[in-house]
Amino acid sequence: MVVANQKGGVGKTTTAVNIAAGLAQGGLKVMVIDIDPQGNASTALGVEHSEGTVGTYEVLVDQHPLIDALARCPDLPGVWVLPATIDLAGAEIGLVATVSRETRLKTALDGFFDHYYVDYVIIDCPPSLGLLTLNALVAAHEIMIPIQCEYYALEGVTQLLKTINLVKGRLNDTLVLSTVLLTMYDGRTNLSAQVADEVRKHFERETLRTVIPRSVRVAEAPSYGQTVVTYQLNSVGAQAYVSAAQEIAERGATGF
């Protein structure tokens, strides 16, 4: 499942790591692939990602075996992370001249699944629709879009939908937009409620019942190298992510 939205700051990374944590809490095995050179998902999951650490760059550009590049998340048994270092910023350029540049991640995952099993792969995308995001869209079956309950919430989603359709037609027939998650919901404002209504109208089947509230605990967890699920499981934010993960698991592989 790829977590995408080319708008920055909508909660992609927070969603990717906390849904992974929620699924792992339910006993599932999860691989998180960080394909954002900022490496925020790697930070939140507490794995080493200093410059030179073997990670996504090596797997995509050097075709390094995925299994050797995975790091165990220290706080979450069942979660494995392909870390992103700043080196990944050069990957778009590094890949441009290579053969099968859009299918590198898919090939790496296919090789991995010949020998190993995980229940979910969650890919955290950068805020752009470049070659890194394209690799994610080619490798995945499902897309999850986090939408922030703010003005212009749907801005950019149309462009993402066009890209999804292009990829679907040419590079990956199995791709579906399965899940929309409302994030940073502020129950005190009418705006959040209005945005949530509008999104539910557009994405009636896709939108999860669970809504992620705006919460200080969610925002501060990464500074402890943790997900909010491991940092404060009893907080409203952690509980919301656990329940969103449950909904996803209940929907199953088809997404509905």
- Is 88 a residue that touches ligand ADP (CB under 6 A)? no
Length of the chain: 256
Give the relative orientation of helices 104-113 and 131-139 as an angle to the nearest 10 degrees.
40
How far apart (Å, rounded) are the C-alpha atoms in residues 241 and 256? 18
Distances, alpha carbon 190 to alpha carbons 10, 181, 183, in Å: 19, 18, 15
Stretch that binds ligand ADP, among 11-19, 51-59, 87-95, 173-181 (CB under 6 A): 11-19
Query: What amino acid occupies position 205?
Result: R
Closest approach of ligand ADP to the CB of residue 36, in Å: 7
Closest approach of Mg ion to the CB of residue 118, in Å: 22
**Of residues 8 and 169, the one with the C-beta less far from ligand ADP:** 8
Contact code string over 34-63 relative to Mg ion, x by CB under 5 A: ------x-----------------------
Of the candidate residues 2, 5, 10, 13, the single one contacting Mg ion (CB under 5 A):
13
**Of residues 112 and 231, the one with the C-beta less far from Mg ion:** 231
- Is 10 a residue that touches ligand ADP (CB under 6 A)? yes
Closest approach of ligand ADP to the CB of residue 13, in Å: 3
- Is 12 a residue that touches Mg ion (CB under 5 A)? yes
- Is 43 a residue that touches ligand ADP (CB under 6 A)? no
- Is 12 a residue that touches ligand ADP (CB under 6 A)? yes
CA atoms within 13 A on the CB side of 100: 11
Contact positions toward ligand ADP, by CB under 6 A?
Answer: 8-14, 40, 127, 183-184, 212, 214-215, 218-219, 237
